[in-house]
Amino acid sequence: MTSIAASGVRCAVPFASADRIQLGHGSGGRMSAALIGGLFMRALDNAALAEMGDGAVVTADGLELVISTDSFVVSPLEFPGGDIGSLAVHGTLNDVAMMGATPICLTAGFVLEEGLPIATLERIVASMARAAAEAGVNVVAGDTKVVERGKADGLFVNTTGIGTVHPRCRPGPRRARVGDVVIVSGPIGRHGMAIMAAREGLEFESTITSDSACLVPLVERLTASGVEIHVLRDPTRGGVASALNEIASASRVAIALDEEALPVPENVRAACEMLGLDPLYVANEGILLAIVPEADATRALDTLRSHALGRDSAVIGRVTGQPAATVILRTALGGTRIVDLLPGDQLPRIC
């Protein structure tokens, strides 16, 4: 998931156009960035928050820790490939991992709506427990609040994770360098389209399942391989396009994507075409973007492909110099187009 920090793109859009919160403010796109930069970052101003990572680095008695927080409001609560419980575990563990850190624990804070079936809650908490156990991490503290019927939507859950920083791995959104390659660890667009299909009752030839997964093992292998990792990011809300825009903006570089290299599953492509969506903006919950020096590209690909989650890893683009803070797509037809942040929300409540 994108933290305040992660969404904190310094963008030129002033935060003045709205006097009320709109759905687009939660999109991970331009309106989110404006809300975060114009309101949250300004009020809560501090160096850790300003770093705009997927989490913050804090120091406790000389020990560097990563902390990341995420609230989950996905609708429906259960969907092909996961549910809000497993998603809340994967999402926050992945954010900790994207900081080059190893997660050590999670917390969970629930807001429950009066009338939620206990059986639903039991399934979701069991799924959360399984996901945490698979990652080897405990949910060590929690909280439960209940609000009246009609004041929430089933349940919302916040998870917060702490991790310890790897001594040799300090990726960050400002560290992309001209000449680096952009690697994606798997097919794009599955999570968002699985949610859309479940929500709208859409039927495709094959069911689209969410890619929701814990990326910690993938990051561990990459770190252990000795690859110099400049940037790690899980392209969740706002998709690959928004994640790369944030990185291009933070690093003051251009990123050129190769459309033909983008791994878009056939059922995702068909669903996107039917709904008029661009898979580059569709959320993912089980893939990562790694930006590494070109010299390390082969080793990075081999390492990622050695794990089931990274089997389909591919180079999808390169970091170039100009125009700064821009993502460009080289289309299959040989043209180019700018891949901008979306102004508002293409797919609300996918995480």
Nearest CB to its own copies, comparing residues 114 and 302: 114
Q: Which one of residues 12, 14, 63, 334 is an interface residue with its own copies (CB under 8 A)?
A: 63
For residue 205, state whether it binds its own copies (rule: CB under 8 A): no
Nearest CB to its own copies, comparing residues 88 and 253: 88
CA-closest candidate to residue 246, choices 340, 179, 338:
340
User: How far apart, in Å, are the Cα atoms of 145 and each of 91, 148, 150?
Assistant: 21, 10, 14
Name residue, tokens 């006097």: 19
Mark the segment that binds its own copies (CB under 8 A) among 24-32, 204-212, 278-286, 289-297: 24-32
Q: Which one of residues 13, 78, 80, 164 is an interface residue with its own copies (CB under 8 A)?
A: 164
Nearest CB to its own copies, comparing residues 29 and 265: 29
For residue 308, state whether it binds its own copies (rule: CB under 8 A): no
Residues 117-146 that bind its own copies (CB under 8 A): 117-119, 121-122, 125-126, 128-129, 132, 138-146
Mark the segment that binds its own copies (CB under 8 A) among 113-121, 178-186, 305-313, 331-339: 113-121
Q: Is 223 exposed, middle or buried (0-12, 13-18, 19+ CB in 10 A)?
A: buried
For residue 76, state whether it binds its own copies (rule: CB under 8 A): no
Q: Which one of residues 150, 276, 334, 335 is an interface residue with its own copies (CB under 8 A)?
A: 150
For residue 48, state whether it binds its own copies (rule: CB under 8 A): yes
The helix (H) or strand (E) run that includes residue 165 is: strand 155-165
For residue 44, state whether it binds its own copies (rule: CB under 8 A): yes
Nearest CB to its own copies, comparing residues 106 and 291: 106
Q: How many CB atoms lie within 10 A of CB 307?
A: 16
26 in helix, strand or coil? helix
The helix (H) or strand (E) run that includes residue 43 is: helix 41-43
Residues that bind its own copies (rule: CB under 8 A) add up to a total of 87
| Beta-carbon-side half-sphere exposure of residue 104 (alpha carbons within 13 Å) | 10
Residues 246-305 that bind its own copies (CB under 8 A): none
Q: Which one of residues 9, 11, 37, 68 is an interface residue with its own copies (CB under 8 A)?
A: 68
Q: Which one of residues 11, 65, 291, 347 is an interface residue with its own copies (CB under 8 A)?
A: 65
DSSP state of 55: S
Give the integer Cα–Cα distance in Å for 53 and 67: 10
Token pair, residue 236, equals 């969740």
184 in helix, strand or coil? strand
